[in-house]
A and B are shown apart, each in its own frame.
Chain A
Amino acid sequence: MKEKATVSDTRDLTRLTLSEARDGLAQKTFSAVELTDAFLSAIETANPALNAYVLATPEVAREQAAQSDKRLASGEAGALEGLPLGIKDLFATKGVRTTASSKILGEFKPAYESTVTSNLWNAGAIMLGKLNNDEFAMGSSNETSAFGPVINPWRRKGSKEKLVPGGSSGGSSAAVAADLCLAATATDTGGSIRQPAALTGTVGLKPTYGRCSRWGIVAFASSLDQAGPITKTVRDACIMLGAMAGYDKRDSTCVDRPVPDYEAALGRSIKGLKVGVPQEYRVEGMSQVAEALWQQGIDWMKDAGAKIKEISLPHTKYALPAYYIVAPAEASSNLARYDGVRYGARVPGNNLIEMYEATRAAGFGQEVKRRILIGTYVLSAGYYDAYYLKAQKVRTLIKRDFDAAWNDVDVILTPTTPNPAFAFGEKTGDPLAMYLEDIFTVTVNMAGLPGISVPAGLSSEGTPLGLQLIGKPFDEETLLNVGQIIEASAGKFAPEDRWWS
């Protein structure tokens, strides 16, 4: 599977995959500085059109690249040595503005580095900049960002209408799809890695809850949030997760278990592997193309020797309503810290409460306010049992569905989203329509499981769709191995018209 960097590739280094670039650096086909400069110049050209980056960090990148070239020369290269990445603006980066794409954080510059990004820099990676996202990761289209929406590099055939890149990690998905970084970090609370990956023809991996440290990541819903990569290929996802994952005593929910060599899991036979197909995922409103691709995926699995089993996850339809209690409740608690006292923007008031209220009114966008209000209400005196406690009980039922399924199958195959990328404004008027974007992804967060979205095909309009694999806790290896089989069967997808470059 491993392809070597060719001469023609070196003319546009940004088109390389992460693994190809790693090989090119190892073979001294190009230097880390050359590779980094290629990306910085691509970002300068394309970002005004795509709005994927909210902050480019060329000085940091060039300094890191020079150091990487030294280590590459002296044989001290790390696993990601010299490889330029984009970082979702939810990860705290020391001395570099971190905003969660919200006005309320103002010009906040953390005095510390998130564990996940520390791990990446320790492995030799290079930071190109901070990537746009839905404000506080609340959204499925990147339309709620205080920095304005990200534009999907993909367009419908024969149309110039702008499409959304998915969300909340829309900057990450668009930047990877448009070759503005080799790979990107992202976070997933209800689908925020997998849904944007599906809508941009990229690979998105949400690891098991506890696999990556949440320390230093702006918190949305702490019992659901998890960091993961968006990449061009499944192999690249292996490389990224290997560097991002690992125990961190500063996150009490981070699990202390060894990080496997994920690349070594690729290429294994799946003969006899039991793949579950949940009947409850055949929902109303699913596009014919998503339905057809799902069947195609089932056939690919069979061709590779896997056994298909129809399974039932009876509480699936309750996952999304339960999520819209749990996530806003946790968000309302987490976002209480933004009060204009210790950091971020402040709007003055005649007294302390007026200052809080004015600061939060000006600092938070519509969707964030809506969710804080929902969360505040469901946690308010007298309503806790009826809402939050009820939702946490439903969560147990959802987890039990999966636990029962694992007695029969090794992995579960579903579509990632019911539909391909949509146009701007199409769903902003109706919060519920937007929430339904996560119908296939949210169960995974509720149960704390790993999930991956792999590009599987194009709609009749020429826009990408993904298939999702759901795995047992900490069995990312099976997801990646099976994901690569889907990738090999489906082929690669890239926009034909590179209108942004």
Chain B
Amino acid sequence: MQVDQALVMRIARLARIKITDEEAEGLKGELSGIFDWVEQLSELDTDDVEPMTQVVPIALPRREDVVTDGDIADKILANAPMSEDNFFVVPKVVE
């Protein structure tokens, strides 16, 4: 599969990572190589195979739908790059 500059830029936009034209140039070749390599999976007929959705066959545990934690705003905000009055602060979203 040939990954071009525009596709690299589109994926990077989806991934919310700013990349330079120079980086995109390098990634183009690397991603093409990796996608070519994983292409070998198409040799396998998997039409009648169930996808693995669980690594260990256990029933997912359930619990009461109750609050088990909370009132720890200070702990949650302790590592925030910017906060005010128990809120995270981000650049203005709505004008």
> Which residues of B are found within 8 Å of A268, using beta-carbon distances?
none
Whether A318 lies near B41 (C-beta < 8 A) is: yes
B56 close to chain A: CB less than 8 A: yes
Known: A361-B19, A370-B30. A355 touches B90 (CB 8 A): yes
> Which residues of A are found within 8 Å of B52, using beta-carbon distances?
392-393, 395-396, 399
Across the interface, name the chain B residue whose C-beta is closest to A448.
Answer: B55
Whether A324 lies near B14 (C-beta < 8 A) is: no
Count of A-B residue pairs with CB < 8 Å: 150
A153-199: which have CB < 8 Å to B?
Answer: none
A297 close to chain B: CB less than 8 A: no
B70 close to chain A: CB less than 8 A: no
Whether A373 lies near B12 (C-beta < 8 A) is: yes
- Grouping DSSP codes into helix (H, G, I), strand (E, B) and loop, the B interface class, with mixed when no group exceeds half, is loop
B85 close to chain A: CB less than 8 A: no
- Grouping DSSP codes into helix (H, G, I), strand (E, B) and loop, the A interface class, with mixed when no group exceeds half, is helix
Classify chain B: how many residues form its interface, as a range: 35 or more
B8-65: which have CB < 8 Å to A?
Answer: 8, 11-12, 14-19, 23, 27, 30-31, 33-34, 37-38, 40-42, 44, 46, 49-53, 55-56, 58, 60-61, 63
- 18 new A-B pairs (CB below 8 Å) besides A353-B16, A361-B18? A106-B81, A317-B40, A325-B38, A342-B76, A342-B80, A344-B81, A346-B82, A351-B92, A354-B91, A355-B90, A357-B17, A369-B27, A370-B31, A391-B41, A393-B49, A396-B51, A431-B34, A432-B34
Give the top 4 A-B pairs by smallest Cβ distance, nearest first.
A392-B51, A343-B79, A448-B55, A346-B81
Q: Which residues of B contact A (CB under 8 A)?
A: 8, 11-12, 14-19, 23, 27, 30-31, 33-34, 37-38, 40-42, 44, 46, 49-53, 55-56, 58, 60-61, 63, 72, 75-76, 78-82, 88, 90-93
Could you pull out 25 A-B pairs where Cβ atoms are within 8 angstroms? A111-B76, A111-B78, A317-B40, A321-B38, A340-B81, A342-B88, A346-B82, A350-B91, A353-B16, A364-B17, A369-B19, A370-B27, A370-B31, A372-B17, A376-B11, A380-B11, A390-B41, A390-B42, A391-B41, A392-B53, A393-B51, A394-B44, A395-B51, A396-B50, A473-B56
